[in-house]
């Protein structure tokens, strides 16, 4: 936090935002569980770990829906219930549409699909692909002299196992892509194991730094830190910015937090009731 305070801009407008955004984050959390229950969908813990990050991105970083200057890509596509809920919470889509999550033919399938939802930047579901696409978007806009086009991309820590991620990071650093903002949801939970063990207890922060990125680490569930660090972007004028957000999978619901099997489990009616009792705010649907 010491380093963060040095970069911190004027705090007066941030303080006003924290409580409302915390409330919205809780509503999104409740909504994610309800959506997963309705659709009998899984990936609940992955979706919950990034609720606060998405609240910050949609609630404070992007200034208006479908902005062409501030673009967001959810690269960890299996967590899309949170993205859809955040879109509804901030007025990008009608909250009623959340009831169609996971329904065949819906605009909101269980992995984001640009072919049925053209407004989103890109489809996801195959991990490690979107970062390379983001570099293409940034390069293209630079060619078009649109230097104020920024792309923020949310990846999972497990996703950073993929070689294609590092090919893209290499390229972004070599091309001094200071318009590229990478957020890593570092919940230390992968599909069949722990991220730290799988990666030999090395640190993501160090890896990104050694590749040449400007890196900050935050508490990924602290709305104050999230919106503060987003306001500090870009961290450098000639490097991609990376935010390592330390999170807990399933955050916000005690019996889901940090439990591997909740990667695969769809909430039952009892789970839903118990979750909403803990979160204490109603879902959007």
Q: How far is the CB of 84 from other proteins (least distance, A)?
A: 20
Counting contacts by CB under 8 A, is residue 110 touching other proteins?
no
**Region of residue 188 (phi > 0: left; psi between -120 and 50: alpha; otherwise: beta):** left
Counting contacts by CB under 8 A, is residue 145 touching other proteins?
no
Counting contacts by CB under 8 A, is residue 138 touching other proteins?
yes
Counting contacts by CB under 8 A, is residue 148 touching other proteins?
no
Looking up tokens 């890509």 gives 73
Residue-wise DSSP of 8-53: ----HHHHHHHHHHHHHHHHHHHHHHHHHHHHT---HHHHHHTHHH
Of 118 and 200, the one with the shorter C-beta distance to other proteins is 118
- How many Å apart are CA 268 and CA 152, to the nearest integer? 34
Q: Which stretch binds other proteins (CB under 8 A): 49-57, 131-139, 245-253, 274-282?
A: 131-139
CA 204 from centre of chain:
16
Contact 176, 239 (CB under 8 A): yes
For residue 211, give both structure tokens.
């590749």
Q: Which stretch binds other proteins (CB under 8 A): 58-66, 100-108, 165-173, 196-204?
A: 165-173
Counting contacts by CB under 8 A, is residue 15 touching other proteins?
no
Counting contacts by CB under 8 A, is residue 164 touching other proteins?
yes
Q: List the one residue from 50, 88, 108, 131 that touches other proteins (CB under 8 A).
A: 131
Q: List the one residue from 18, 111, 132, 278 that touches other proteins (CB under 8 A).
A: 132
Q: List the one residue from 91, 136, 193, 282 that touches other proteins (CB under 8 A).
A: 136
How would you classify the pairing of strands 70-74 and 150-156? Answer: parallel
Of 1 and 140, the one with the shorter C-beta distance to other proteins is 140
Contact 33, 44 (CB under 8 A): yes
The residues of the shown chain that bind other proteins, judged by CB under 8 A, are: 114-115, 121-123, 126, 128-141, 143-144, 163-164, 167-168, 170-171, 174
């Amino acid at each position: 936090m010491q380093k963060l305070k040095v970069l911190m801009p004027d705090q007066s407008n941030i303080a006003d935002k924290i409580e409302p955004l915390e409330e919205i984050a809780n509503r999104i959390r409740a909504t994610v569980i309800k959506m997963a229950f309705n659709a009998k969908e899984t990936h609940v813990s992955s979706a919950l770990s990034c609720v606060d990050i998405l609240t910050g991105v949609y609630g404070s970083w992007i200034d208006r829906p479908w902005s062409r200057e501030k673009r967001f890509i959810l690269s960890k596509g299996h967590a899309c219930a949170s993205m859809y809920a955040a879109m509804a919470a901030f007025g990008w889509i009608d909250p009623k549409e959340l009831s169609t999550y996971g329904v065949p033919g819906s605009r909101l399938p269980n992995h984001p699909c640009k072919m049925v939802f053209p407004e989103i930047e890109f489809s996801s579901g195959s991990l490690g692909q979107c970062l390379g696409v983001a570099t293409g978007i940034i390069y293209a806009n630079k060619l078009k002299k649109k230097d104020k086009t920024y792309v923020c991309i949310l990846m999972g820590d497990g996703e950073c196992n993929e070689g294609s991620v590092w090919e893209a990071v290499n390229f972004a650093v070599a091309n001094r892509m200071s318009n590229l903002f990478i957020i890593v949801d570092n919940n230390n939970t992968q599909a069949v194991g722990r991220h730290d063990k799988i990666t030999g207890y090395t640190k993501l922060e160090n890896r990104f730094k050694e590749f040449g990125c400007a890196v900050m680490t935050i508490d990924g569930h602290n709305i104050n830190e999230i919106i503060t660090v987003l306001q500090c972007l870009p961290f450098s004028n000639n490097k991609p910015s990376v935010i390592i957000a330390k999170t807990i999978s399933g955050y916000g619901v005690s019996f889901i937090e940090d439990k591997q099997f909740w990667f695969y489990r769809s909430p039952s009616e009892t789970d839903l009731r118990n979750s909403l009792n803990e979160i204490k705010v109603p879902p959007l649907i």
